[in-house]
Structure 1
Amino acid sequence: MSSTKTLTNLELERRELGRVHIVPEVVEIIAGMATIEVDGVASMSGGIAGGIAEWIGRKNLSKGIKVEVGERDVIVDVSIIVEYGKEIPIIASNIQGNVKEAIHSMTGLVVVEVNVNVHGIDFEQEEKKDIVD
């Protein structure tokens, strides 16, 4: 019997077709989309650069997201504004799960951390409710 090494499909593809490199901006966009899907997130908090991009009419899908991408893993920092009256720990937990799942399913990267930074509370919905009442 001869001993032969069996390669997984992924290893075989890497050798035959070349390497796939996912730039950090792509991971940021995935994380941003996964974050805004979570109930209770009023908006992303992206600082001055993100605000300028939106002011001139460009939607910045990676606003409020920073990533550190390694060979096979990623660390994500998310900065958000929450809706008034919503439970921040629940929102943060939902963001962590959603971001982790989205990045892993779309890229195959292992998400080591998703750090959620709450930069403010949006009172706009509460003000609209008071006006109607």
Structure 2
Amino acid sequence: MNNSIGIVKISDDVITVIAGIAASEVKGVYPLFNSNSGIDSFNKKNIAKGIKVNLSDNKTSIDISVAVEYGIKIPSVIRELQENVKTQVEMFTGVKMQEINVFVQKVISKSE
């Protein structure tokens, strides 16, 4: 990204954290990385796990692997997740996202 003063380079790690925070705002979506049950709530330690940023000149995308809560309408919740991640990343970084790919890996019950 160039501006009149110089070049601005935003790290993949920064975009990953922003995407993780945005994902954590969506009810019924969980990261996949707890050693006991395979799920956990998003927190500072695991906010970026299961998220991969792919930056290139031709295509900018984010891949997110999640678990979802049993009983939610997966298509509508995942759409909300995609829109929130796209909006937040673009707003904070100025990087235009072309794809937010979400991989639902597990369904969990509220008691897990």
Structure 1: which 5+ residue stretches go unaligned?
A: 1-9, 129-133
Q: Which of 53, 58, 79 is residue 65 of structure 2 equivalent to? A: 79
Residue 81 of structure 2 is aligned to residue 90 of structure 1? no
Q: Name the SS of the counterpart of 1:85 in structure 2.
A: coil
Which one has the bigger helix percentage? 1
Rounded to whole Å, the distance in 2 between the matches of 1:101 and 1:59 is 23
* Paired residues of 2:33 and 2:46 also in contact (CA < 8 A): no
Aligned pairs for 1:25-104 (under 5 A) are 25-41=13-29, 43-46=30-33, 59-71=45-57, 74-104=60-90
Identity of aligned residues (%): 36
Structure 2 length normalisation: TM-score?
0.82
Q: How many residues get paired? A: 106
Q: Name the SS of the counterpart of 1:116 in structure 2.
A: strand
Runs of 4+ in structure 1 off by over 3 angstroms are none
Give RMSD over aligned pairs: 2.6
Structure 2: which 5+ residue stretches go unaligned?
A: none
Rounded to whole Å, the distance in 1 between the matches of 2:22 and 2:63 is 13
